[in-house]
Amino acid sequence: MSLRLWACSRFLLLFALPLGLRAGHESGMMPTWEEVARLHFLRYPAMEAADLYKLVAQGVSGTRHLLVDPNAARRYLQQELAGVEPEDGPLCEAIAPGGKVLRVHLAPFKALDLSVESLFAAMSESAAEGGGGAAEFAIAWRQMIRLARRGRIPVSAAELVRLAGVPFDPLAWTHHSAAFERLYRPHYRVVTRKAFRRHFPELAAEL
């Protein structure tokens, strides 16, 4: 399989299984919030409440927080890519219901030798599209609390309730937990699926 075929199907990006079904192939494949959360806990078993908070916040609000200063965001993207070693692996992960918002992982992005300018354009377009705010986050977070209380996700419901009291601010999101940073070395950018398809048409068939 060529490296470029490591694209963004729901099954590939969350299970790293061989390509077969593509996100968008049929509406029933699109992930719900419960599926997004549970699949991320499967892929990242050391995820903590802070990581779940970041996941849901990004899935709701997108990439606006990185584009307050577009020039700085572009420089930071270039610097981070320069320091990342190229690696095989899933390029994208769905982080919102319907696969509408994606994390694009920079190590496989670099391995595929994709365009940095196109990625930044997708980020800018995603930011311009806006995204949800505090009300949308509160709805999604209440779902997370219910899932935790029912034992559907392996995280403390009490900790999620505590985080529910943190004012929702896309400009001041929590960082990943120390364990997540150490074990998974996250380097990614958040974009909408629509923007990524527009700026990477060669991968659009796999989205």
- Give the residue extent of every domain in the chain: 3-206
Mean pLDDT, residues 46-62 = 94
| Distance (Å, whole) CA 146 – CA 165 | 16
Express each pLDDT in 130-155 by its tens digit.
Answer: 788 999 999 999 999 999 999 999 99
Choice between 116 and 5, residue whose per-residue pLDDT is larger? 116
Give the pair of three-digit tokens for residue 53.
């908070």
| Distance (Å, whole) CA 43 – CA 14 | 7
Helix, strand and coil in the chain, % to nearest 5: 60, 5, 35
- Side-chain-facing half-sphere of 46: CA atoms under 13 Å: 11
Is 112 within 8 Å of 120 (Cβ atoms)?
Answer: no
Binned at pLDDT 50, 70 and 90, residue 62 comes out as: confident
Is 39 within 8 Å of 55 (Cβ atoms)?
Answer: no
Tell me what pLDDT residue 70 has: 87
Average pLDDT, the chain: 84
| Distance (Å, whole) CA 87 – CA 106 | 9
